[in-house]
Structure 1
Amino acid sequence: MSTTTQGSVDYLARDGRAYVTLNRPEKRNAMSQTMWEQLMLAYDKAEDDDDVRVVVLRGAGDDFCAGHDLAEVGNQYGDGGTDEHGRKRRPSQRARLQYDKHYIERFQRIFTFLKPSVALVRGYCLGGGLYMAESCDLVIAADNARMGHPEQKLGLSGAAYLDAWEIMTLGARKARELLLLAEVWDAQEARANGLVNKVVPLADLEAQGEAWAERIVRLPRDGIALGKAATNMAMQALGVTSQFAYGPVFHTLATNMRWEPGEFNFMKERSVSGVRASTHQREAFYATPVRQEGE
């Protein structure tokens, strides 16, 4: 279990598998900076261990991952310092771009990893958690899975890190629906639109993951690596991996936008009301209004 409020990413290798577990269940495995760093170290370990042929990525507790810890969002770009009058300055575009580039490289690491990753998704799989699942080769979802991009309501409105992959996978219309409306889909809708490979009862999720992992580990090591390399080359030829270049640019711009009167500014509200209250305010602001009969 987690030993700090920052959570952990736990690693266990056995029988040709590397089990990578996001371990912060009290926060629905929302990713702290510490956890992101540990996730990359886990993939380094899996890469260096020749006996590992597949990574099984999962979340502790009832959820896969609720995304990036909202308490850290907006603070990750650092302090912009002060001007000559002692007034606080906003972080520079170069500081934002540097962070966003480093951030998306984490998903790129999973996406292009030369050993397959299988994500086992239960409960919430949102925002950065969904990017993690999308970066994996295979995704098995429990029937209680909820997958989507509610973080788009922070003002991004389509400035997504993996939108090329989503357009290719879902089709342009459904990808825009998922992002522009900040949709959260249940397991069956996620399966129907190609976000996951298979939906199973919650009680069967781990067993199904084991069954697929066993089929992969029986493949020859060289065949696994060459097959993934060929997939990466195909993704590059299709232009999908270009998202790792333009994704940080658009995210940097989207996080430095101007808010007009009447628009919901999550960062401003969070500073006043805190994360929990401002999250509820955000959902209420974007909730679909109930139309009266005759309207």
Structure 2
Amino acid sequence: MYDVLIAGGGIAGLTAALYAARAGCSTLVLEQQYYGGQIVNAPLVENYPGIHRISGAELAQRVYDQALAAGAQYANAAVERAEPRDGGFALYTNRGIFAGRGLILATGAGSRPLGLDREQALTGHGVSYCAACDGGLYRGKDVAVAGGGNTALSDCLLLAQGCRRVYLIHRRSSFRGEASLLEQVRRQPNVELLTDATVTELLGEQRLEGIRIRQRRLRTLKVEGLFIAVGRQPRTEAFAGLVSLDPGGYIRAGEDCRTTKQGIFCAGDCRSKSIRQLCTAAADGAAAAIGLCESLSAEKKQA
């Protein structure tokens, strides 16, 4: 049995692993995809304190290496459910059952779909949720981005470097993203901003051939790619019966990252909070690990 099991290997989970291992707790990180989480898809990170410029993949690699050097362990496994057991908890995964005295839930959040007909069928065939992953496939072509936050603005800037034309479609009249990012987008000669607009239909059979939008009236855009960046949804289904979730599915926990279940902490984008940034994910990871290790130490002293 490990002292600390961490579900999720993004920046929050890896930072938690670093702090837990440094506190002397045996620590295992379980991640179903790749370590680093969504930040590995960012070609350039410029808002992480102390590092002027770095790729998301390199930043993730550094934190991963640091956590393992401190003594944490890592395994690829998809967590399917969590249950209490004598002396701690069990995580049931596609690679077996792992036991730990305490849990840190850092499973992050996934891309939210638009909910359009045939959206899933066309994903990978013109519909994408990751401009950094798939943008290179549309060099010299016309594409659209749906969204109004930082991710949508960053996607626009990335795509504008290689695509012939980029339409940025946002359902409101003003953007939620940072003013500096929006100003950079406005300066791109091949980007057209379409506000008070929504995507209503995907066109094409085997591949995306265009989209229909409503902007006061129906309009058809001939695009070969649609990049959806309309928010995230938490990956917390596996823990719904164990900890309290808010109406959006995020895990209820304060700034100390303590959940409603003794011995379980959470960190990062799956936590119910107002700000979700790279630095707050790292802060959550540190707070969760320190809090859990202190709790485990107190339990040992009382035993």
TM-score, normalised relative to structure 2: 0.22
Which of structures 1 and 2 has the bigger CA Rg? 2
Q: Which has the higher strand share?
A: 2
Q: Which has the higher helix share?
A: 1
